[in-house]
Chains A and B, each alone.
Chain A
């Protein structure tokens, strides 16, 4: 080098080369950035599609389940119930034709059995399809559930509510009722509790259902670890119903012992449906 023109030429060449390489590098970085953005948004769209599809599946499954329950409840009531009433009538009449003491005693027992069964059938079909819920709404239905538990004299049970519950959508009412029912059933079945409390609270569009017991308590992770064979379907059903409503369910250990299950729903997302 040494000559000024040569130096200028070298400088130009050097700058061109370096800028060229820099340009390539920045293009590459930009390309990676933009491409990844595009891929990400595509994947997010797919995810959203998938989860809305899953929600619909869930809703369909739960609807089907409710429909099936309704059918069974109606069949039980109409077919089995009707035949049982007839059977009772016949047994009563048979009593008149029975001449000996032993026959009458057997007949009386039979009538008692039939009566018990009629009551059971009515109870089961009511459990399957709580008529109170459809006619008088969520609060009355839970009241009835509480009364039934109280009558059994196994635990003390309390139900309190705050807010307006008359204008809930039927699907939300039903879901909340089923969830409360299963949570109470679980507390009765597994917790060995002395006390159960149910709280229902609504604040504008925010709804909370809480079921507490002072029983043995449990860890959700441990339930998750159980094999499907051992697992019940109660918690799973609750989960399905809650996620169908875009809500959230949490199980907290209650202090000093027991379980506090809380369901939270945001009703505003439901109103526009």
Chain B
């Protein structure tokens, strides 16, 4: 595989939040509350991604940033699901699970230190949001949507989350193992997995913001 190609993917991935974020700022006044949360997330994500890239270029360990992004990401996406889940029980569960996640996060941080890869939090996060996405799809099918899903911003948002987290699940859960045992060349290759999925996710988020319309 061409080395430059890998670098290209990693760089593109780092900047991929620009597209949906730009669109989100452009359409800000007409965005639903959930999409405003998403835009805020995109802003933070872009910030950390660029910082991560800079740190890597300056040979500084960037893994602590992943912890920061993970906890922010979990909080913001949970907030979105708290809003879009209709059932009261689900809303309550989102809060409880967020609290449990925070526990896992703190324990993992305490045991492995900030310089380690956030394996446990990332894995748990992937599982949780994969399940949320499936639950939300179920909610869509059970409810009576009056318009096609291609015009439903939350459908695309949910698709983005599902693709990213389901696709990255193996990578995240094996990340510590990979960092410990795989050759550096192999690590480079494997790290493109979340990068590619990240680009796909941001594209789907772009569609979500693109199709969104002010309700009523």
Contact residues of A with B, CB < 8 Å? Answer: 1-2, 7, 10-11, 14, 17-18, 21-22, 24-26, 28-29, 32-33, 35-37, 39-40, 43
Contact = CB atoms under 8 A, between A and B. Distances in A.
Interface stretch (B54-62, B97-105, B133-141): B133-141
B186 A32 contact: no
Contacts of A32: 137, 140-141, 149, 155
A1 B186 CA distance: 11
A21 B168 CA distance: 9
Contacts of A28: 134, 137, 162
A26 B159 CA distance: 8
Contacts, number: 70
A24 B193 CA distance: 17
Given A22-B163, A37-B148, A14 B170 contact: yes
B170 A21 contact: yes
Interface in B82-119: none
A39 B141 contact: yes
Interface string B145-174: 111111000010001001100111111001
Contacts of A2: 181, 183
A9 to B, nearest CB: 12
10 A-B pairs with least C-beta separation: A25-B166, A1-B181, A32-B137, A22-B167, A17-B170, A21-B166, A25-B162, A29-B159, A18-B170, A36-B149
Classify the secondary structure of B's interface with A.
helix
Interface of B: 130, 134, 137, 140-141, 144-150, 155, 159, 162-163, 166-171, 174, 181-183, 186, 189-190, 193, 197
Classify the secondary structure of A's interface with B.
helix
Interface centre among A21, A24, A37, A39 (most CB of B within 10 A): A21
Contacts of B159: 29
Nearest to A4: B183
Given A1-B186, A22-B197, 10 more contacts: A1-B182, A1-B183, A2-B183, A7-B182, A7-B186, A11-B189, A14-B190, A28-B162, A32-B155, A40-B146
B85 to A, nearest CB: 16
A143 B210 CA distance: 56
A76 B20 CA distance: 75
